Structure 1
Amino acid sequence: MPPFDDPLIVAGQGTAGLEIVEQQPEVTVVFVPVSGGGLISGVATAVRALRPTARVVGVEPAGAPRFARSRAAGKPVALEQAETIADGLRVLTPGKLTWEIANQYVDEFMAVSDEETLGAVRRLLADGKVVVEPSGAVAVAAALGMRASDIHVVAVVSGGNAD
Structure 2
Amino acid sequence: GLIAGVAAALGACRPGVRVWGVETEGAQAMSEALAAGGPLPVTLSSIVSTLSAPSVSQLTYDHVAALVTEVLVVPDREAVQGSLDLADHAKVWAEPAAGCLLPAARQVLERVGDGARLGLVVCGGNATTGDLFAWSRRFGLR
Same fold (TM over 0.5): yes
Percent identity of the aligned residues?
A: 34
1:156 and 1:100 map into 2 onto residues whose CA distance is 21
> Is the CA contact 2:29–2:52 (under 8 Å) kept in the aligned structure 1?
no
> Is the CA contact 1:140–1:156 (under 8 Å) kept in the aligned structure 2?
no
Counterpart of 1:156, as a letter, is: V
> Is the CA contact 1:132–1:159 (under 8 Å) kept in the aligned structure 2?
yes
TM-score computed with the length of structure 2 as normaliser: 0.82
> Is the CA contact 2:27–2:52 (under 8 Å) kept in the aligned structure 1?
yes
Residue 61 of structure 1 corresponds to: 24
TM-score computed with the length of structure 1 as normaliser: 0.72
Tell me which of the two structures has the higher relative contact order, counting C-alpha pairs closer than 8 angstroms and 6 or more residues apart: 1
**Structure 1 unpaired stretches of 5+:** 1-37
Among candidates 104, 111, 124, match of residue 142 of structure 1: 104
Residue 158 of structure 1 corresponds to: 123
Structural mapping, 1:1-163, within 5 Å: 38-79=1-42, 81-145=43-107, 146-147=109-110, 148-163=113-128
Which structure has more strand as a fraction of its residues?
1
Aligned length: 125
> Is the CA contact 2:84–2:99 (under 8 Å) kept in the aligned structure 1?
no
Residue 29 of structure 1 corresponds to: none
After superposing on structure 2, the runs of 4+ consecutive aligned residues of structure 1 that deviate more than 3 Å are: none
**How much is the aligned-residue C-alpha RMSD, in angstroms?**
1.3
Residue deviations 1:65-101 (CA, integer Å, cap 9, x gap):
111111111111111x211121111101002211111
Q: What is the Cα deviation at residue 141 of structure 1?
A: 2.6
**Structure 2 unpaired stretches of 5+:** 129-142
